[in-house]
Amino acid sequence: MSVRQTVLDQVAIVAEQQRKTIPPLTDDMPLVGSGLDSLCIALIVANLEDELGVDPFGLAGEVAMPETLGDFVTFYEKAAA
Amino acid sequence: MTPVTFNDTFGWLHTPRGGVGRVAVLICPSLMQDALVSHVSLRLLADKLAEAGYWALRFDYPGTGDSVAEGDVEPPEGHWKAWQKSINTTADWLRATTGASEIAFCGIRIGATLATLAAAERQDVVGIIQIAPVIRGNSYVRQLLVQSQLQTGQPLPAGEDLVFYEFRLSPRTLDEMRTVDLRKVQFTGARKVAIYPRAESKLVDDCLRIWSGAGVQVTRGAWQNLEPLMRQLVIEEDTLADWSDVIDWLQKAAPYDGTVKAVTPAPTPLMLRGNGFVETPMRFGRRGRIFGVLCQPAQGRPDLAVITTNSGRDPHYGSCRQSVTFSRQLAKVGIATLRMDFAGLGDSLGPTGREHLLTPMFESDRLPDIKGAIDALERLGYRRFAAQGLCAGAYHSLQAALSEPRITALLLVNIPLFTLPGQVVMNYLTYRGSTLAHYVQRLFSIDGLRKLVSGRVDLRNILRGQIAQAKVRTAAKVQDVASKVGMADRLTPAHRMMAELSARGVRTLFLFSEGQSEIDAFAQEFGSQGEGLASYPGAEMRVIQHMDHDMSHAPGRKIGQALMVDFVASRET
């Protein structure tokens, strides 16, 4: 499975688990403010680390949180490359 | 179930009915939000284990729940090692107290991780039940760091402590947590493990493969009936987890042996002592179904007691242990506190026949529970009473004060409404925040229309919330006009409440975090700065910067708690 698909799957899984209503997943969807709260995003990041075996935050040191879903996908694609 | 205290720890011992088995089950809770949400379901698990013939013990790790230790002060060995050590000492206490010869561990989330690490070092563990375990500590620490970063807006600088929820976690503790990987755990002796993952995960597959290869009998259980353990943001009546599959597994892994002679646990002093406080568990209300922890000053005999109530569905110790830290601060200024659970929340049983349901957050009559608390405190010699609550707890505290003349002070944090809105409360709270004009403006943007067409805007609920708001505003205007022509009482329900309380001499402190939705209902009645409270002596309000809705962010929580302590203590000096 591609990195992109893994990221999108985790966003959908966590949103469903946390009973959050989110819009259709598009690259311009803001990560914060589209229905996902901070716990959801933290869980997505934790799950992605387990599923992809990469920790892009750890690789880069102190990094800012990507703002959109597209940036978030790219963030993981670069880390996994 | 019986409250117990040991090793500066608080717990609940659930005694088997109809016979005593050789196996005792130690339930290892999770931390922070996971612990809050799963608390009542774990109480149900302990009840079910006792029904099946097993001793069961629930307990709080050091620095969590009602334990004596503080979470924001690391012990010399660090939190992580202290938590692991507490599982071992508690397991030893459980065996010694009950006479059980073997132990089974049941842990949830990071509690499953801690339980597995502890079990791997012991020879008396007959089985481990892992509920949605954290398999890699690194990803769990990352989860905490990301959540903290989103809360503060800043990544944690290297080498600094992580201050998050009730904890201060040093870099050493974070590093110790990061190194954990359950796939590498080597169990000594034969083991039986049941793992209940919440979702498909290759890490879980790895565990099954690696542990089975090492001779461990591993069973993968179904998650379906356990979802209530993680279910958040539900405010109506709700079900708890169904533990049937877990009990079935345990009965096969460690069958009940009724031939063991019953043991009556030696009584332990039900008291915890800390810096300036003494705490005692209390049961009160009809047939002792309501539970609370009484925190009293170590010195002196106060006659004032503050009753803290459940914030939403959080147990009596509160999110980030805020009720614990608040009550211990009050003890230092000579005031007692009873942190209680309403019926059907925390450790209080629900109404007869509905014991195993979570009661609704708002649409429940909590007055009998608060009256029961005051009656119990009066029997102990207390004569004056204050009620404190956050969100739904504030709503119920206010309602109780209107009917209960013994309440003389109120501490209300982020009270979201004064009367029930006449519709689903969650919809009202979700969609009341902005004016209808705001939504209309947003809808008529290109993006807004796209969202509406695609179903991404819940127009029906927005309108319901707005209609409820409009009704409140219209009612207030109609009442104002009617009063001017002498056809009605001039006051709205909220003003009538404050007039009544003020006339009785009840002092009321309203605290709000910044943000329109927090203060909306209050501002409609009394203005965004509380200017409308001027007519009601004894009432005041403050807006606190850096305080979030549930006071989970430490800086705002500390300010809010200090203001509440000052408000209550000002009459004591």
Mean pLDDT of B339-351: 94
Unique residue bearing structure tokens 């750890």: A58
Nearest Cα of chain B lies from the Cα of A16 at a distance, in angstroms, of 11
One domain for residues B439 and B559: no
Write out the two tokens for B112: 């499953």
Contact B150 A32 (CB under 8 A): yes
Write out the two tokens for B225: 């009936």
One domain for residues B294 and B428: no
Closest of B497, B490, B329, B342 to residue B415, by C-alpha? B497
Closest of B352, B350, B367 to residue B313, by C-alpha? B350
Contact B146 A38 (CB under 8 A): yes
Closest of B359, B421, B414, B363 to residue B391, by C-alpha? B414
* pLDDT surpassing 90 at residue B491: no
One domain for residues B276 and B237: no
The partner residue sitting opposite A19, judged by closest CB among B146, B155, B233, is B233
Q: Does some domain include residue B151?
A: no
Per-residue pLDDT, B158: 86
Q: Indicate the angle between helix axes B436-443 and B459-484, nearest 10 degrees.
A: 150
Run of H or E including B561: helix B554-569
Q: Does some domain include residue B146?
A: no
Unique residue bearing structure tokens 């947590």: B177
Q: Which amino acid is at B207?
A: C
CA atoms within 13 A on the CB side of B85: 12
Per-residue pLDDT, B4: 92
Range of the domain at B483: 421-490
Contact partners, residue B111, CB within 8 Å, separation at least 6: B28, B29, B30, B31, B34, B35
Nearest Cα of chain A lies from the Cα of B560 at a distance, in angstroms, of 22
Summarised one tens digit per residue, pLDDT across range B434-480 is 444 444 444 443 343 344 344 444 545 555 555 555 555 555 555 55
Per-residue pLDDT, B472: 55
Full-model pTM: 0.88
Q: Does some domain include residue B370?
A: yes
* pLDDT surpassing 80 at residue B357: yes
Nearest Cα of chain A lies from the Cα of B133 at a distance, in angstroms, of 12
One domain for residues B239 and B331: no
Strand partners of residue B280: B294
Closest of B267, B417, B240, B425 to residue B346, by C-alpha? B240
CB contact at 8 A, B52 and B19? no
Number of Cβ atoms within 10 Å of the Cβ of B215: 10
Domain end point (choices B441, B475, B490): B490
ipTM of the complex: 0.84
List CB contacts (< 8 A) between B139 and chain A.
45-47, 49-50, 55
Unique residue bearing structure tokens 């629930």: B58
Q: Does some domain include residue B190?
A: yes
Q: Does some domain include residue B318?
A: yes
Q: How many domains does chain B have?
A: 3
CATH number at residue B509: 3.40.50.1820
Contact A49 B138 (CB under 8 A): yes
Per-residue pLDDT, B572: 59
Q: Does some domain include residue B167?
A: no
More confident residue, B474 or A45: A45
More confident residue, B435 or B386: B386
One domain for residues B451 and B404: no
* pLDDT surpassing 50 at residue B280: yes
List CB contacts (< 8 A) between A39 and chain B.
33, 147
Per-residue pLDDT, A65: 83
Nearest Cα of chain B lies from the Cα of A20 at a distance, in angstroms, of 10
In whole angstroms, give the CA distance from residue B195 to residue B542.
Answer: 48
One domain for residues B482 and B500: no
State the greatest distance between any 2 C-alpha atoms of chain A, in Å, as a whole number. Answer: 32
One domain for residues B483 and B497: no
Closest of B277, B292, B272 to residue B375, by C-alpha? B292
Domain end point (choices B490, B508, B531): B490
Counting residues of chain A whose pLDDT is more than 70, the rounded percentage is 95
List CB contacts (< 8 A) between B135 and chain A.
50
Write out the two tokens for B319: 């999110």
Run of H or E including B349: none
Which three-class secondary structure string do you get for B295-336?
EEECCCCCCEEEEECCCCCCCCCCHHHHHHHHHHHHHHCCCE
One domain for residues B360 and B455: no
* pLDDT surpassing 50 at residue B556: yes
Distance of CA A17 to the CA centre of its chain: 15
CB contact at 8 A, B431 and B466? yes
Phi, psi of B129 (to 5 degrees): -110, 120
One domain for residues B317 and B347: yes
Run of H or E including B120: helix B110-120
Phi, psi of B307 (to 5 degrees): -105, 120
Mean pLDDT of B541-554: 90
Per-residue pLDDT, B195: 97
One domain for residues B114 and B213: yes
- Is residue B151 very low, low, confident or very high in pLDDT (cuts 50, 70, 90)? confident
Pick among 1.20.120, 1.10.10, 1.10.1200, 2.40.30: CATH of A3-80: 1.10.1200
One domain for residues B484 and B497: no
In whole angstroms, give the CA distance from residue B431 to residue B433.
Answer: 6
Mean pLDDT of B146-157: 87
One domain for residues B199 and B219: yes
